[in-house]
Amino acid sequence: MKRKHLLLNSLAFLVMLGISLDSCNSTQKEEVIYKDYDLSKPEKFNMPESLFEISGLTFVDGKADTVYAIQDEEGKLFRLAWDIPKQLHTKFGKKGDYEDVAIMNDQAYILKSNGAIYALPMSETVFEEADVVKELKGLLPKGEYEGMYADAETGELYVICKNCAEDDSKSSVTGYIFKPSQDTTGVPRTGVPRTFSINVNQIKAITGKVARGFRPSGLAKNPLTKEWYIISAVNKLMVVTDSQWKVKDAFPLNGNMFIQPEGIAFDKAGNLYISNEGDDLFSGNILKFKKIK
- Range in 177-191, 200-214, 230-244 the model is least confident about: 177-191
Residues in CB range of 219: below 8 A, 6 or more apart: 147, 148, 149, 158, 160, 175, 228, 229, 230, 231, 264
- pTM metric for this prediction: 0.87
Q: With beta carbons less than 8 A apart as the criterion, state whether 181 and 188 touch.
A: yes
Q: With beta carbons less than 8 A apart as the criterion, state whether 146 and 218 touch.
A: yes
Q: What is the mean pLDDT of residues 240-263?
A: 93
Q: With beta carbons less than 8 A apart as the criterion, state whether 146 and 262 touch.
A: yes
Q: How far is CA 166 from CA 145, 195, 238, 268, in A?
A: 13, 12, 23, 35
21, pLDDT greater than 70: no
Same domain for 79 and 16? no
Same domain for 225 and 161? yes
Same domain for 18 and 41? no
- Range in 31-40, 82-91, 266-275 the model is least confident about: 31-40
Structural domains in the chain (count): 2
Residues in CB range of 14: below 8 A, 6 or more apart: none
- Range in 26-35, 121-130, 159-168 the model is least confident about: 26-35
255, pLDDT greater than 80: no
Q: For residue 27, what pLDDT is reported? A: 39
CA geometry: angle 275, 279, 282, nearest 5 deg: 75
Count CB-CB contacts under 10 A for residue 118: 22
Same domain for 163 and 59? yes
Q: For residue 11, what pLDDT is reported? A: 37
219, pLDDT greater than 60: yes
Same domain for 141 and 22? no
Residues in CB range of 268: below 8 A, 6 or more apart: 61, 62, 63, 64, 223
Q: For residue 190, what pLDDT is reported? A: 62
208, pLDDT greater than 80: yes
Q: How far apart are CA 291 and CA 58, in angstroms?
A: 17
CATH code, domain with 45:
2.120.10.30
Q: What is the pLDDT of residues 100-147, one digit of tens each?
A: 999 999 999 999 999 999 999 999 999 999 999 999 878 899 999 999
Q: For residue 16, what pLDDT is reported? A: 37
Same domain for 141 and 19? no
Same domain for 14 and 96? no
149, pLDDT greater than 70: yes
Q: What is the mean pLDDT of residues 173-195?
A: 74
225, pLDDT greater than 50: yes
Same domain for 142 and 17? no
Same domain for 187 and 53? yes
Same domain for 77 and 12? no
Host domain of residue 52: 32-289
- Range in 3-17, 61-75, 178-192, 219-233 the model is least confident about: 3-17
Same domain for 93 and 21? no
Q: For residue 187, what pLDDT is reported? A: 53
Q: What is the pLDDT of residues 37-86, one digit of tens each?
A: 999 889 999 999 999 999 999 999 999 999 999 999 999 999 999 999 99
Q: With beta carbons less than 8 A apart as the criterion, state whether 257 and 30 touch.
A: no
Give the model's confidence band at 188: pLDDT under 50 very low, under 70 low, under 90 confident, else very high.
Answer: low
Same domain for 134 and 20? no
